[in-house]
Amino acid sequence: MPTTNAPAAPQTKSRKGGRLPSRLLLCGTAAMILSAQATPISGQSDQDTKGSTAMTMKDDLTHREKDIHWPLGFDPSKADLFSHNSLLIHASCEKIWSHIVDATTWPSWYPNSKNVQITGGASKLDSGTVFRWQTFGIDLESRINEFVPYARIGWYGYAPGAEPTFYHTWYLKPQNEACMVITDEVGKGGDAKKLRQTDEGLMHRGHDLWLATLRWVSENK
């Protein structure tokens, strides 16, 4: 759910075995990205930052990925809140996918996620999987609706026991030896309207953070 033009995650020296940067550095990066304005990063190509400079819902709708499969009731053109983000990651789509579906490890590299638990005893996300987690300080339950290995995954988001009010999707497209990673999300209802009114760009900035840390973990581990 919620991002700005995201810098790469901290490029600290890796310890033996390619360990991730410290939690402190990741949290610092999270605070920087979530509060930053959408300004281009010197040295990044247009392809690397495609879609990431948009900071309003109107801009995100203009740049949105037209090949996303949206379920009934989650048409972006009728959304109360929408974000579109994309980033070219210099790793295979298969490697990137492995980090996306390994949801219980998200908190180790994506600071805006906590307490990710997959129900039913599964170890990774799969078709029909239900998982519970916390993001943006909100407790959520999510259910996988679309699952095409190495290419597409989409899930509903909702308060436990309530009807779905968000739909988050990932779309991975091979680009030679790299992968274009696209993540779009629709929100509807009171919570989505309130978020749009109080901080329209928060979901966009949050997803820029997710892409930046996904790039770090995929290119360096």
Give pLDDT tens digits for 150-181: 999 999 999 999 999 999 999 999 999 999 99
CATH topology of domain 51-220: Alpha-D-Glucose-1,6-Bisphosphate; Chain A, domain 4 (3.30.530)
- Residue 9: Cβ within 10 Å count: 26
- Is the pLDDT at 24 greater than 60? The verdict is no
Q: For 12, which DSSP code?
A: P
Please name the amino acid found at residue 209. L
Sheet of 152-158, strands arranged across: 81-89, 178-187, 166-175, 152-158, 138-148, 130-135, 113-118
Locate the DSSP E strands across 62-177: 81-89, 113-118, 130-135, 138-148, 152-158, 166-175
State how far Cα 191 lies from the chain centre: 19
State how far Cα 215 lies from the chain centre: 11
Q: What angle do CA 113, 114, 118 make, to 5 degrees?
A: 100
Q: What's the confidence (pLDDT) of residue 138?
A: 86
Cβ contact 187:199 at 8 Å: no
Q: For 10, which DSSP code?
A: P
* Total H helices, total E strands in the chain: 5, 7
- Is the pLDDT at 54 greater than 70? The verdict is no
Residue 150 to residue 48: CA distance in whole angstroms: 20
Q: What's the confidence (pLDDT) of residue 154?
A: 98
- Residue 215: Cβ within 10 Å count: 22
- Residue 161: Cβ within 10 Å count: 6
- Is the pLDDT at 92 greater than 80? The verdict is yes
- Residue 221: Cβ within 10 Å count: 14
Q: What's the confidence (pLDDT) of residue 1?
A: 54
Residue 63 to residue 85: CA distance in whole angstroms: 9
Q: Where are the alpha helices (H) located in 22-113, listed in sequence order?
A: 23-35, 57-63, 93-101
